């Protein structure tokens, strides 16, 4: 007869969260979380202890518990646990931690003569959800071939020793560096929603290789949003009237159409026409120049240009929905254009 494989395990009814505070030559806090998972019986984390800052360390220990639970959630995601079960076990352990108090100190039960004054352990127990036990049976015990990232020992030791004395900021930095690293190692990809300068979402990007380059491209493409085109019967009306805030898609003066070419600073845009250039200023005024204007020239002519050293930033080519209308294209043809004199003061 062949051998019969036993694909089951006996789960303990409760899980345990132990927090040990050790005050010796190297003060530290050690945390262990036992969920009764085969081959992953203990998730542990170690952080430095600042003895003279008890109130600050209390908050840092709570943050370290969240970091340890993030590691548990990362493991469960890599094993393809159901999302509801991940949230349930996260909330169960967190509730057990919040329910800890001085009564949970195991050193109180020991004889004072035999107790170790350098170590203090707090024990917290909680009932393991039945759904978590059943999912562990399916994903870990009988589904071991699906493990994507499963080292035999899931032990985290966070240390920091550039100075002889550890501060609260050192401990906080070590914990937060680990949390960022843990998020990038999750089994499923994470996405970031990108917003433009106007607060509107422009798309999503997956965290991974080339993330920064794609982010720069997406924000640069969405940095300028055009408003509807503006039209003036002649140049005199253009000088008298004021343009609304924003950058018009096109500006028409008589039978001349000016297209946006570059921007600079806040609400300053350069338009290029068939024969000359047009500049739209932040206060709504606009002016026509016979050649490409410089900021020095515009300041000398008393136009509202800040003294900062702005440079023209060339705009990318318009997208299909921002293409020129047929009537605007017709206005740009040589046969439809007439000579217009421009008088500069």
Q: Which pLDDT does position 113 carry in this prediction?
A: 44
* CA-CA-CA-CA torsion sign (269, 323, 203, 221): negative
Q: What is the DSSP letter of 282?
A: T
Task: Using the predicted structure, report yes or no on whether residue 232 has a pLDDT greater than 70.
Answer: yes
Q: What is the pLDDT of residues 30-83, one digit of tens each?
A: 999 988 887 766 888 888 888 888 888 888 999 999 999 988 888 888 888 888
Q: What is the pLDDT of residues 284-343, one digit of tens each?
A: 888 899 888 888 888 888 887 766 656 777 776 555 444 455 555 555 444 444 333 333
Q: Which pLDDT does position 119 carry in this prediction?
A: 81
Q: What's the burial of 17, exposed, middle or buried (CB within 10 Å: 0-12/13-18/19+)? A: buried
**pTM for the structure as a whole:** 0.44
Q: Which of 179, 77, 68 is nearest to 124 (CA)?
A: 68
Output the DSSP codes for 60-118: HHHHHHHHHHHHHHHHHHHTT--HHHHHHHHHHHHHHHHT--GGGBGGGGS-TTTS-TT
Beta bridge partners, 95, equal none
């Amino acid at each position: 007869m062949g051998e019969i494989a036993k694909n089951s395990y006996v789960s303990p009814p409760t899980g345990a969260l132990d927090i040990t505070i050790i005050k010796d030559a190297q003060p530290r806090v050690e945390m262990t979380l036992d969920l009764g998972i085969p081959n992953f019986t203990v998730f542990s984390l170690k952080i430095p202890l600042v003895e003279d800052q008890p109130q600050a360390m209390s908050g840092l220990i709570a943050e370290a518990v969240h970091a340890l639970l993030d590691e548990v959630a990362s493991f469960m995601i890599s094993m393809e646990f159901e999302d509801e079960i991940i949230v349930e076990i996260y909330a169960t352990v967190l509730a057990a931690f919040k329910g800890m108090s001085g009564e949970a100190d195991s050193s109180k039960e020991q004889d004072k003569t035999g107790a170790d004054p350098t170590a203090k352990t707090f024990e917290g127990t909680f009932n393991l959800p039945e759904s978590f036990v059943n999912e562990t049976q399916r994903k870990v015990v009988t589904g071991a071939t699906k493990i994507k990232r499963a080292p035999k020992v899931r032990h985290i030791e966070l240390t920091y020793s550039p100075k002889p004395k550890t501060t609260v900021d050192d401990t906080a930095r070590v914990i937060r560096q680990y949390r960022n690293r843990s998020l990038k190692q999750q089994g499923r990809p994470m996405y970031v929603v990108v917003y433009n300068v106007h607060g509107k979402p422009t798309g999503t990007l997956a965290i991974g290789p080339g993330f920064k380059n794609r982010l720069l491209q997406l924000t640069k493409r969405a940095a300028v949003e055009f408003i509807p085109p503006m039209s003036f019967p002649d140049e005199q009306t253009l000088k008298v009237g004021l343009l609304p805030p924003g950058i018009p898609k096109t500006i028409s003066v008589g039978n001349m159409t000016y297209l946006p070419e570059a921007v600079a600073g806040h609400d300053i845009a350069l338009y290029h026409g068939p024969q000359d250039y047009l500049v739209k200023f932040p206060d709504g005024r606009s002016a026509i120049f016979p050649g490409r204007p410089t900021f020095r020239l515009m300041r000398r002519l008393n136009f509202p240009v800040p003294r900062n050293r702005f440079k023209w930033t060339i705009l990318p080519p318009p997208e299909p929905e921002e293409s020129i209308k047929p009537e605007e294209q017709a206005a740009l043809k040589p046969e439809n254009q007439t000579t217009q004199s421009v008088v500069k003061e």
